[in-house]
Amino acid sequence: MVSEIPEVVVLRLPLYVRALSRLQDESAGVISSQELGELLQITPAQIRKDLSYFGRFGKQGKGYTVSYLLGELRQILGLEREWSAVLVGVGRLGRAILSYPGFTPAGFRVVAAFDVDTNQIGKRVDGIRVRDISELEDAIKRDAISIAIVAVPASEAQRVIDRLVQCGVKAILNYAPVSPQIPGDVKVRNVDPVLALQTMTFHLKNLELAGKRPEGKRGKF
C-alpha cells in the first residue's frame, strides 16, 4: 500500500529524480547505487531500500538504467503531467515567487493569484492578473486546483490555509513564517530561508567558540 511508504522516503525521491535528470542530460546510461549515493551523499543501501518500496529497478551487479529509473520515478511522483497552482498573497514575497524561474520548467504552473489589497487587484504580475481574494473559492473549485502557494503575512496564514483546505486544496507550499494546522489528508511544506539560516548559526556560533578556546580547555558548552 502506498500509504505505508515512509514520508522520509517520499522526501528523498525528488532528489533521485533531480540527480537522474542531470545524469541523463550528461548521457549517462547506467548508474550503480554507489555512484548515485556519492552524488547525493546518501548510502547505497539507503537508495536500494528506498527504491525497493516501489519495485525492482536494477539488475544485480549491473546498476540502474538511468532513463528507465528516471521515467519510473517521475511516474511514481506524478511528474509526467503538469500541475496547476494558485498563489495567495501578492506582496513583495508573492511577487518574488511569481518571478521564480524554477516552477514552469518543472511542470508547475501558477494559474491564478489572489490578494486583499485593492491596489494590487486587477494588476498584472509576470503575466498573472491579481484577483480579489473573494474569488478564491470559485476559482479553485472551477479548475479543481489541488496546489496552493501561500505568501500572506503570518497573522493571516492560518485563516487563508483553512479556506484553501475547505475548498479542496490538498497540497500547500507555505512561505508564511508559521507552522499551520492542517487535516491529515492535506500536505504542507514550509519554505523558509530564514529558518534554514537559523539552523546554521548554531553551528557558526559553536565553531567560533571552539576557535577562540585552546583545544585542551574546551569545556562543556
Conformational region of residue 166, where left means phi above 0, alpha means psi within -120 to 50, and beta covers everything else: alpha
Work out whether 139 is an interface residue with a second copy (CB under 8 A). Answer: no
Q: For a second copy, which is the closer residue by CB, 60 or 200?
A: 200
Work out whether 101 is an interface residue with a second copy (CB under 8 A). Answer: yes
Q: How many residues bind a second copy (CB under 8 A)?
A: 67
CA distances from 122 to 20, 88, 118, 142, 151 (A): 42, 14, 8, 20, 18
Work out whether 127 is an interface residue with a second copy (CB under 8 A). Answer: no
Cβ 31 to a second copy shortest distance, Å: 15
Q: Amino acid identity, residue 117?
A: D
Could you give the angle at the alpha carbon of 136 between the alpha carbons of 135 and 140, nearest 5°? Answer: 120
> Do 185 and 172 meet the contact criterion of CB atoms below 8 Å apart?
no
Work out whether 18 is an interface residue with a second copy (CB under 8 A). Answer: yes
Using the structure block, give the residue that is written with the C-alpha cell 483546505. Answer: 165
- In the range 155-194, which residues lie near a second copy by CB under 8 A? 170-171, 173, 177-179, 181, 185, 187, 189, 191-194
Selection from 167, 166, 162 nearest residue 178 by Cα: 162
Q: For a second copy, which is the closer residue by CB, 53 or 132?
A: 53
Work out whether 215 is an interface residue with a second copy (CB under 8 A). Answer: no
Q: Looking at 93, 128, 139, 167, which residue binds a second copy (CB under 8 A)?
A: 93
Gap between the Cα atoms of 89 and 193, Å rounded? 18
- The footprint of a second copy (CB under 8 A) covers 1-3, 10-11, 13-15, 17-19, 22, 39-41, 76-79, 83, 85, 91-93, 96-97, 99-103, 106, 108, 146-147, 149, 154, 170-171, 173, 177-179, 181, 185, 187, 189, 191-207, 209, 220-221
